[in-house]
Amino acid sequence: MNSPMLKISIALFLLTLSIQAFGQFEEWCIADEQTPDEELRRAMNWACEKGGADCSKIQVNQPCYLPNTMRDHASYVFNNYYQRYKHKGGSCYFNSAAITTDLDPSHGSCKYELLP
């Protein structure tokens, strides 16, 4: 009775109990490293202009401006959109430009939101 499948089943059961006991699993939305910058730009523009994301913190002299890369800016914007709208049907998809992570992407003064 010490099979690998039994161990996996027990681990999944315990994980499910932990999530139920402590609330939602922590999850952020970030740019997929494999997505070309032009696709990230299109998705980020949509999120900022039409999607309702708050993109003010990636502007010059704001806490998430640096590092000034398309991937970093897109990650902040994607997460802002995802956290605001995930309970209203919003997703972390962005035409395959984004992925979810359980590792907090915050860095320095740039804090990524995590809303329940």
CA distance readout (Å), 42 to 45, 49, 50, 115: 5, 10, 11, 25
Q: What is the pLDDT along the chain (116 residues), one digit of tens a residue?
A: 567 766 666 655 665 555 444 555 899 999 999 999 999 999 999 999 999 999 999 999 999 999 999 999 999 999 999 999 999 999 999 999 999 999 999 999 999 999 98
pLDDT at 2: 65
Eight-state DSSP code of residue 58: G
pLDDT at 20: 46
Asked whether the beta carbons of 55 and 80 are under 8 A apart, the reply is yes
CA angle 109, 114, 115 (to 5 degrees): 140
Alpha helices in 47-88 (DSSP H): 70-85
pLDDT at 9: 63
